[in-house]
Amino acid sequence: MAPAILIVGATGNTGQGVVEALPALLKASNSSLAGHRILAQTRSADSPAAQRIAKIPGIEVVEKNWTDITADWLREHEVVRAFIASHNAPNQFAEESAFHVAALNAGVEYVVRISTTAAAVRPDCGAYYPRTHWAIEALLGSDEFAALKWTSLQPNVFLDMYLAPAAAYIKQFRQQTTGGGQPAGTFRTMAAKDAPVAPVDSKEVGAFAARLLAAADPGVHSGAKYVLNGPEDITGAQIVEMMEQHLGTKVTDVSYQDMSFLDGLIASGFGGPGQSETVLKSIRYAVEFSWRGLASAATTSKQVLEIGAPKRTPAETMKRLLEE
């Protein structure tokens, strides 16, 4: 059995980008990586996303809860490199750190992980999950983990998430004007009116991770924290202008820096039972760094620009969302 590269969260927003890009990169590689297997981990091999990626040549779908992966499992499957995009529930540190400990003990050579918006990844962030990412990066950077090479990708907010409320508003407005929908009402967006933010396409983040996983010498990226943004800044006001272009009319009722969607997220049971509501609601503080203009395209790491920067723009993403 050949050595394997494991993709944890292969059906997720960034994981799909990894599995779509990695086979071709390995095939084109002149190194020993060309013969490596690619294991796409998913909790359900029957899901539509899992069945789709199973059709990609060179991908082996593995049905497994990633939180149950042990060092023995990694050795059994001969995993030498891995990608992980963890959940961001309050127990993230316990579960993701357990994965990294297993990787260390199994002799995994290199891990690429997904972090969050770089400006928020600090020990005093008001939101709990950027602190978790900071703690994971501190753990991986400790002397005890010196044998495990790693790279942490710090992507900006994802384009689909950032523009989804605008696309939904446009669709609802169009249905209303044709007599088939409800009034669109207030447009609510987490974006600040005037702060420039460069949201990034999640699959392009995954494609960048695939480039690192396919690198002949991952040591040059070990310990790096790469900031990934989209190619263009957009403000809340510019999102509204984009909406008006699609609608052919003014959008006058706008609520900027609106985090009211969190109430619905928490009410849905996000994070599982028994979670502190105060901790969950702290998510709103993560966005403050973007509101202060600290997540613009100018913050993209130069290594990202050299290796393969994301290219998808807000306008392209809006067009696709409206066609779905």
CA distance readout (Å), 296 to 157, 159, 233, 289, 299: 11, 13, 6, 10, 6
The class that CATH gives domain 4-157+200-228 is: alpha beta
Q: How many CA atoms lie within 13 A of 62 on its CB side?
A: 22
Q: Which fold has domain 159-197+231-293+313-323?
A: UDP-galactose 4-epimerase; domain 1 (3.90.25)
Is residue 207 within 8 A of residue 20, CB to CB? The reply is: yes
The domain locations on the chain are 4-157+200-228, 159-197+231-293+313-323
d(CA 301, CA 290): 17
Q: How many CA atoms lie within 13 A of 116 on its CB side?
A: 23
Is residue 30 within 8 A of residue 23, CB to CB? The reply is: no
pLDDT, tens digit only, all 324 positions of the chain: 799 999 999 999 999 999 999 999 998 866 678 889 999 999 999 999 999 999 999 999 999 999 999 999 999 999 999 999 999 999 999 999 999 999 999 999 999 999 999 999 999 999 999 999 999 999 999 999 999 999 999 999 999 999 999 999 999 999 887 666 566 789 999 999 999 999 999 999 999 999 999 999 999 999 999 999 999 999 999 999 999 999 999 999 999 999 999 988 888 888 888 889 999 999 999 999 999 999 999 999 999 999 999 999 999 999 999 999
Tell me 144's DSSP state.
Answer: G
d(CA 64, CA 58): 19
CA distance readout (Å), 263 to 147, 239, 247, 267, 277: 43, 23, 29, 6, 10
